[in-house]
Chains A and B, each alone.
Chain A
Amino acid sequence: MSKLGLDFKLVEEARQSARNIALDIQGLIDQHTSVTVERTVARLLGVDGVDPLDRPLPNVLVDKINSEGRLDLGIAYYLGNAMLHTGQEPQTIAEMVMKEELDLTRIPTHDFDEVKKKVLEVAQKTMVRIRKNRADREDFLRTLGEGPKPYLYVIVATGNIYEDVNQAKAAARQGADIIAVIRSTAQSLLDFVPYGPTTEGFGGTFATQENFRIMRSALDEVGQEVGRYIRLVNYASGLCMPEIAAMGALERLDVMLNDALYGILFRDINMKRTLVDQFFSRVINGYAGIIINTGEDNYLTTADAIEEAHTVLASQLINEQFALLAGLKEEQMGLGHAFEMNPKTENGFLLELAQAQMAREIFPNAPLKYMPPTKYMTGNIFKGHVQDALFNMVSIMTNQGIQLLGMLTEAIHTPFLQDRALAIENAKYIFNNMRDLGEEITFKENGIIQKRARQVLEDAHHMLKNIEVEGLMETIAQGKFAGVKRPVDGGKGLDGVVVKSDMYFNPFMDLMLGGASRE
């Protein structure tokens, strides 16, 4: 039952508009592939490692084919054909290409059905590994258990994966349920994924498959010690969305930041490119049982949290439809929102409460990701700790899913060990002390809170109706989200988008689409 007196007919209409908006884009997505989508296929077929210049072999392979303008068939076709021709595995083939011992476009072509069969044989091995990871996670959750919701989510960001491990283990012992390893500044704009363990980064640590493996194994270890499964987060965003998703699926990550709209608006990535990339990355996340986190919270760091609240809801509804099209279940949709109002706002707490409750009621099964105050954190750590406390109160009163803990030193530095400890203490105190407050309270009929939520819903409904007419890309170009304008053909990565041929082949799209529910 709605505590807010929301008009669910209006919600349904808004959802239908969002569905039409997403379907319109899906038509475009289905016609295209991209360099990172193809590199992902190569990775999932077992290609890894780097050449003597530290270029990842998936890049070496895909760039070669793309430079000849022949990527429209998909890399899987060329690898399959070469497997039949040489009798070798994809990794060996990639090494041969690197050494220029083999030219994938100049070897005899085999029967297309034979090629597909060969590729599917190899692909099945990867599918088994990913399914095993999913089963392992479920086993851990069954045997070890997990912390109560909202999960306590903290970040580590030392730049050195081994130092991150120390901080992450300490955080888990302090009570954290989810650890995110923040990426090095600007990794989102690299059109390749670095290789191997890394010990230097700025503002974060490079996402590499080896770093994923190191942190996964550390968290499994500390999880046994504290008797809780500790989830691991990274970022399937930027120019390598699906590759990072694939690496996460292979190394059993649990949560991925994954939002094309975020990349378009805040990283100036070309919209066609990132929407194509997002689709495959979400298909992989869906199959691997990974929870995605969307980035709507960021809108409110640039736009006003009161005036622009409806853009968050509109974007969440669109993101929900994109996720459904990629086979994600509602339980995997960590839609984002944030506590970002100016603390001087009279009754600001009531407005935040209204918006958080509204998100909860409109997405009842989604593990909503709630982001802490950042914009109005000042360096006065004492006030900041109180701001974070209010944020925690809203969360427990509205039953949020994933609580990205606010740090009292936000706006000063990446968290110290003690900052994280204080943040966890703050959240645990409030969550325990106010655990069932939400169950106990109702909101005054037509009071400030109910009116606020209805207003935001109406505005979002109106916005979605407009986008339905104008198209999502046009709307973004006009600066309607986060006050940021991005042209359709602007931004980074457009040159990596390729129109598929009728014969295009990506085995994993077919094998994985349908999500975690499918066997």
Chain B
Amino acid sequence: MNNIDFTRIKPYGDTYNDGKIQLSFTLPVPYGEEAKEAGKKLLEKMGIEEPQITHAEEAGTGFTFIVAYGVVSHTVDYSAIEVPKVDSEVMDKYGVEDFIKEKIKRDVVIVGATTGFDAHTVGIDAIMNMKGYDGHYGLERYGGIEAVNMGSQVPNEELVARAIELGADAIIVSQVVTQKDVHIPNLTNLIELIEAEGLRDRMLVIAGGPRIGHELAVELGYDAGFGPGTYAEDVASYVVQEMVKRGLV
């Protein structure tokens, strides 16, 4: 384990550089030796050596479910990787509250919603509701933050109108349904609306959801994106620090 070559990383099973990887998938062919062979061939084409089909079974007539292991021949240069990340220090709830008292000296207004046809409130609730998620209180419970959760299926226009009405410092939008990339046009539409209202430089606009990353969010014109595993303090820390950084206080 000592001299890991970070320029040539491959998966670790139980021995350094063994390259072991597991996969599971379904092929639309009847179960049988031919199905297993097809699975092996597919793995070989993916650059996986010594493919082993450890399990194969019929998953309904005409389908074969396969569990496979193999050895990845490829490597990646870990040392050269740069991932755009939300660039702020994560503070806990009290840290955020103190920060607001000291550096912003007024209530921070955050308006959130799940917009478009998306009916899922689970993401926006996890961040905003009093109760929060998994023991992490939501923004509604933060002193110094006025959090307004508009719920789901909110038209983008209504979210923007509410943000204007309340003089919001930040808009946070959640997108859970991402089938067929339906979230992309919706998120784009929201940014366009905000720009059309001339508000883009006056507030932070943040997206979140199970398939939203910071990189995607920035690409779509957002200030930040938060993926799975995000808690209220991650979002709050970013908002308050970024407000100070941009002089939006």
Question: CB within 8 Å of B: which residues of A?
Answer: 159, 169-171, 173-174, 185-186, 188-189, 202-203, 266-268, 301-304, 342, 344, 374-376, 378-379, 411-414, 416-418, 421-422, 483-484
Can you name the residue of chain B whose Cβ is closest to the Cβ of A416? B26
Q: Are A483 and B129 in contact (CB under 8 A)?
A: yes
Q: Are B151 and A202 in contact (CB under 8 A)?
A: no
In the complex, besides A413-B179, A417-B63, 20 extra interface pairs with C-beta distance below 8 angstroms are: A159-B180, A169-B61, A170-B62, A174-B59, A185-B117, A185-B118, A185-B119, A188-B119, A202-B182, A203-B179, A266-B121, A268-B151, A302-B121, A344-B135, A374-B122, A375-B122, A378-B229, A379-B228, A414-B179, A417-B60
Binary flags per residue of B15-36, CB closer than 8 Å to A gives 1, else 0: 0000000001110000000000
User: Taking the nearest CB of chain A, how far is it from the CB of B101, in angstroms?
Assistant: 28
Can you name the residue of chain A whose Cβ is closest to the Cβ of B229? A378
Q: Is B125 an interface residue (CB 8 A)?
A: yes
Interface residues of B in 121-168 (CB under 8 A from A): 121-122, 125, 129, 131, 134-135, 151-153
Chain B contacts for A170, CB-based, 8 A: 59-63
- Residue with the greatest number of chain A CB neighbours at <10 A, chosen from B60, B61, B182: B60
Q: Are B119 and A421 in contact (CB under 8 A)?
A: no
Q: Are B122 and A417 in contact (CB under 8 A)?
A: no
- Residue with the greatest number of chain B CB neighbours at <10 A, chosen from A375, A376, A418: A418
- Residue with the greatest number of chain A CB neighbours at <10 A, chosen from B57, B62, B119: B119
Q: Are A173 and B134 in contact (CB under 8 A)?
A: no
Chain B contacts for A342, CB-based, 8 A: 134-135
User: Taking the nearest CB of chain A, how far is it from the CB of B123, in angstroms?
Assistant: 10
Query: Pick the contact of B119 from A186, A413, A418, A484 — CB < 8 Å?
Result: A186
Chain B contacts for A344, CB-based, 8 A: 134-135
- Residue with the greatest number of chain A CB neighbours at <10 A, chosen from B25, B63, B118: B63
CA distance A379 to B118 in the complex (A): 20
Chain A contacts for B153, CB-based, 8 A: 186, 189, 267-268
Q: A417-B60, A483-B129 are in contact. Are A185 and B177 (CB under 8 A)?
A: yes
CA distance A268 to B152 in the complex (A): 9
Q: Are A301 and B122 in contact (CB under 8 A)?
A: yes
CA distance A108 to B61 in the complex (A): 61
Q: Are A174 and B60 in contact (CB under 8 A)?
A: yes
Chain A contacts for B180, CB-based, 8 A: 159, 202
CA distance A416 to B135 in the complex (A): 32
User: Taking the nearest CB of chain A, how far is it from the CB of B157, in angstroms?
Assistant: 16
Chain B contacts for A173, CB-based, 8 A: 60-61
Q: Is B226 an interface residue (CB 8 A)?
A: no
Q: Is B238 an interface residue (CB 8 A)?
A: no
Question: CB within 8 Å of A: which residues of B?
Answer: 24-26, 57, 59-63, 65, 117-119, 121-122, 125, 129, 131, 134-135, 151-153, 177, 179-180, 182, 210, 228-229
Chain B contacts for A302, CB-based, 8 A: 121-122, 125, 129
Can you name the residue of chain A whose Cβ is closest to the Cβ of B134? A342
CA distance A189 to B152 in the complex (A): 12
- Residue with the greatest number of chain A CB neighbours at <10 A, chosen from B24, B59, B62, B131: B59
CA distance A342 to B131 in the complex (A): 13
Q: Are A421 and B59 in contact (CB under 8 A)?
A: yes
User: Taking the nearest CB of chain A, how far is it from the CB of B150, in angstroms?
Assistant: 10
CA distance A174 to B60 in the complex (A): 5
Number of A-B residue pairs having CB atoms within 8 Å of each other in the complex: 82
CA distance A413 to B211 in the complex (A): 10
Q: Are A379 and B65 in contact (CB under 8 A)?
A: no
User: Taking the nearest CB of chain B, how far is it from the CB of A302, in angstroms?
Assistant: 6
CA distance A483 to B132 in the complex (A): 12
Chain A contacts for B25, CB-based, 8 A: 418
Chain A contacts for B228, CB-based, 8 A: 378-379, 411
CA distance A461 to B9 in the complex (A): 61
Query: Pick the contact of A202 from B59, B135, B177 — CB < 8 Å?
Result: B177
Chain A contacts for B129, CB-based, 8 A: 302, 483
CA distance A171 to B57 in the complex (A): 14
Q: Are B65 and A421 in contact (CB under 8 A)?
A: yes
Q: Are B117 and A186 in contact (CB under 8 A)?
A: yes
Chain B contacts for A171, CB-based, 8 A: 60
Chain B contacts for A378, CB-based, 8 A: 228-229
Q: Are A202 and B179 in contact (CB under 8 A)?
A: yes
Can you name the residue of chain A whose Cβ is closest to the Cβ of B24? A418
CA distance A25 to B199 in the complex (A): 46
- Residue with the greatest number of chain B CB neighbours at <10 A, chosen from A169, A266, A342, A344: A266
Chain A contacts for B131, CB-based, 8 A: 303-304, 483
Chain B contacts for A159, CB-based, 8 A: 179-180
A-B contact pairs, 29 of them (CB 8 A): A159-B179, A159-B180, A169-B61, A170-B59, A170-B60, A170-B61, A173-B60, A174-B60, A185-B177, A185-B182, A186-B153, A189-B153, A202-B117, A202-B179, A202-B182, A203-B177, A268-B153, A301-B121, A302-B121, A302-B125, A303-B131, A342-B134, A344-B135, A375-B122, A379-B210, A411-B210, A418-B65, A483-B129, A483-B131
Q: A185-B118, A379-B210, A379-B228 are in contact. Are A418 and B59 (CB under 8 A)?
A: yes
User: Taking the nearest CB of chain A, how far is it from the CB of B146, in angstroms?
Assistant: 17
User: Taking the nearest CB of chain A, how far is it from the CB of B177, in angstroms?
Assistant: 5
CA distance A169 to B60 in the complex (A): 8
Can you name the residue of chain A whose Cβ is closest to the Cβ of B177? A203
User: Taking the nearest CB of chain A, how far is it from the CB of B16, in angstroms?
Assistant: 23
Chain A contacts for B26, CB-based, 8 A: 416-418
CA distance A171 to B25 in the complex (A): 16
Query: Pick the contact of A266 from B65, B118, B119, B179 — CB < 8 Å?
Result: B119
Can you name the residue of chain B whose Cβ is closest to the Cβ of A168? B60
Query: Pick the contact of A417 from B59, B125, B179 — CB < 8 Å?
Result: B59
CA distance A186 to B186 in the complex (A): 14
CA distance A173 to B31 in the complex (A): 14
Q: A170-B63, A171-B60, A378-B228 are in contact. Are A412 and B182 (CB under 8 A)?
A: no
User: Taking the nearest CB of chain B, how far is it from the CB of A326, in angstroms?
Assistant: 26
CA distance A171 to B179 in the complex (A): 21
CA distance A117 to B119 in the complex (A): 45
User: Taking the nearest CB of chain B, how far is it from the CB of A224, in angstroms?
Assistant: 14
User: Taking the nearest CB of chain B, how far is it from the CB of A297, in angstroms?
Assistant: 13
A-B complex: 6 closest residue pairs judged by Cβ atoms = A170-B60, A186-B117, A421-B59, A173-B60, A418-B26, A185-B117
